[in-house]
Amino acid sequence: MRLSRTIPAALTALALSTALAPTAAAAEHPAAPGDTVTLPLRKAIAALDTRAEKRTGYERTKFKHWIDEDHDGCTTRNEVLLAEAVTAPEEGARCKLSGGTWHSAYDDTTITGPGGLDIDHFVPLAEAWDSGASQWSAKDRERYANDLGDDRSLIAVSAKTNRSKADQDPATWMPPAASYRCTYVTTWTTVKTRWGLAIDTSEKATLERAAGECPNVPIKVELAR
């Protein structure tokens, strides 16, 4: 069940201003879960709430993962591996995967076999907690940790780069593959917009600086909260 929240006024106004032909009813309707928001990257960054982050009380176990939401035998981790494989792996009993190849975008390398991969929460669980998820229900945190509703939320990358990133935001970590950094900034902003997560001042400054060097592409995302 999706729980409603108050979307930042700036985000609501910008979302409505980008509508091609807004009706009077649409203009009076605040952004809500299930609505689609389309914003240029730089405006999307500006629309995010900016506030200090708090790590108090964080435990990774407060985000239940990896689940088998559709009960097909494959956990969220394996669903991502299957969806992102360049060469499909063999699928055995209980969704055990072997073989296959993947492209790890963070370091622009090819990984053979699922063992060398991690599934990264694009915005790490600890960062999500710091940015607003500490106030969510356990069910919403589970939804976040297993978000297959937007294929940008989770990504298969080399274990080396995922562990280098850990729980850092763009102010302290960017992918080693420079060619991927504009995509990284755009996707980070998209995920934070989708889940209504805030940014802190150093994170905002880094995103704005990076976005200034990237195409001001529109992000389009369905709000999850």
Tokens read off for 188: 């980070």
User: CA 127, 5, 3: angle at the middle one, nearest 5?
Assistant: 90
For 112-152, write each residue's pLDDT tens digit: 999 999 999 999 999 999 999 999 999 999 999 999 999 99
Q: What is the mean pLDDT of residues 205-213?
A: 98
pLDDT exceeds 50 at position 198: yes
pLDDT exceeds 90 at position 178: yes
| pTM of full prediction above 0.75 | yes
CB neighbourhood size of 70 (10 A) = 10
Helix, strand or coil, per DSSP, at residue 157: strand
Domain map (residue ranges) of the chain: 9-222
Q: What is the mean pLDDT of residues 81-109?
A: 98
For 60-74, write each residue's pLDDT tens digit: 999 999 999 999 999
